[in-house]
Amino acid sequence: MTQTSGQQMQREAKVDEMKGRLKEAWGDLTDDDVKQAEGQWDQMIATIREKTGESIETISSKVNELIDDAQDSRN
């Protein structure tokens, strides 16, 4: 089953929104950091940890909050 162009655009918009939320939550992240870790959450969390010194638990909690907020904003 293939995605329609509308579905693809919707998916890309959601990905872009999440990238923006990550960079907003952790100002030290660059576009390159986000692009490098794209699709690999473990790598993204490691990058955030390296740049901020925050614990994995704190980062995971914040990421989950961002995801929940993004889902709530769509409802």
Q: Where are the domains of the chain?
A: 5-74
Gyration radius of the chain over CA positions: 13
Neighbour count for residue 44 (Cβ, 10 Å) = 21
Res. 1 pLDDT band, cuts 50 70 90: very low
- Write out the two tokens for 66: 């961002």
Considering the four listed CATH numbers 1.10.1470, 1.10.3470, 1.20.120, 1.20.1640, the one that applies to the domain covering 5-74 is 1.10.1470
SS3 of 71, please? helix
Encode pLDDT of 21-70 as tens digits.
888 999 888 888 888 877 788 888 899 999 999 999 999 899 888 888 87
Encode pLDDT of 28-40 as tens digits.
888 888 888 777 8
- Write out the two tokens for 7: 């579905």
Place of tokens 């960079």: 23
Residue that wins the pLDDT comparison between 11 and 3: 11
